[in-house]
Amino acid sequence: MSESRHTQTRLQHIENWDTEFEIVAGHVRRTASEEQTLNILEAGCGCAWDLDLQDVPYKLTGVDVDEDALRIRTEQRKDLDVAVVGDLRTVELAESHYDVIYNSYVLEHIPDAERVLDNFWRWLKPGGLLVLRVPDRNSVYGFLTRITPLWVHILYKRFVVGFREAGQPGVGPFPTVYDRVVSRGGIRRWCRRRGLAVRAEYGSNYYVNEVGVFSFPIRALVRLLHVCSFGRLAYDHSNLTYVLQKPPAAASQHGAPLRSEGVCC
Ligand SMILES: C[S@@+](CC[C@H](N)C(=O)[O-])C[C@H]1O[C@@H](n2cnc3c(N)ncnc32)[C@H](O)[C@@H]1O
């Protein structure tokens, strides 16, 4: 686990879900102008959208590989302007089209996640924002998720977090892969390769506050594993949130052809 100098710097810490969405929505709002409708891509949209952008004119495109999730989204939430069933590695979307790409807890589920990031780079307009939310594979939480099977994640969500629908079609938890890019070092390296600016980097572990009586033993276990890993597994955060910006006049460096499989529903 060789980490670059950047990954040793302290993360800005986010205390809770509401604060995180305020911060992220603030970044998105600052890219908006009154005359322009923002083109937003929610990549791996699942069945719900968390951001409150009521004061911003925008058109929302959602892409997800899971038809059940997208059906719940289009039938119940009804907040997508365009819905596309497709795999983010291969789906065909317009290049340099989106002002904002929002990608929340998706990359850890995808083998070859860097291919998805490269597609984001191509789909973003010059100057566009990429908001990434991922668990850090090099945190204690990420490590435990990597070494345990899906049924353990389902039981954890149902009986520790108290999310009774966990495991039902379209709802998750979904199988995890944790490609190497899903870490602080991995994201930083990819940004350097593609020339994206890191506008903000946040860490959070507020999931521990949401597990009631399990909070204390989980915190103790996380500390213990941090020490046992000689400090290599982070205990102070489990999740990372990035606000990245494509350079305003980025030359197209990425020419890998994409296979078309987008299906609008
Ligand atoms: C944990 S959920 C997150 C959903 C939503 N973004 C959120 O934050 O609540 C992961 C989502 O990624 C989708 N997903 C996983 N692999 C994908 C892929 N290769 N292409 C598109 N979507 C994918 C899943 O179907 C699922 O809806």
Average pLDDT across the chain, whole number = 88
User: Is 1's pLDDT higher than 80?
Assistant: no
Find out whether the beta carbon of 174 lies less than 6 Å from any atom of ligand 1: yes
- Domain locations along the chain: 5-135+178-207+239-264
- Pocket probe for ligand 1: among 65, 108, 133, the residue whose CB has the most ligand atoms within 8 Å is 65
100 phi/psi in degrees, rounded to 5: -140, 135
Find out whether the beta carbon of 69 lies less than 6 Å from any atom of ligand 1: yes
Find out whether the beta carbon of 66 lies less than 6 Å from any atom of ligand 1: yes
Give the tens place of pLDDT for each residue, 56-101: 999 999 999 999 999 999 999 999 999 999 999 999 999 999 999 9
Nearest-atom index, ligand 1, CA of 103:
6
CATH superfamily ID and name for 5-135+178-207+239-264: Vaccinia Virus protein VP39 (3.40.50.150)
Give the tens place of pLDDT for each residue, 140-157: 999 999 999 999 999 999
Q: Which residues contact 192 (CB under 8 A, 6 or more apart)?
A: none
Single pTM value for the model: 0.88
pLDDT of residue 24: 94
CA distances from 49 to 40, 52, 193, 217, 250 (A): 12, 9, 30, 31, 29
Tokens read off for 229: 């890993």
The whole-angstrom separation of Cα 15 and Cα 137 is 20
pLDDT of residue 8: 53
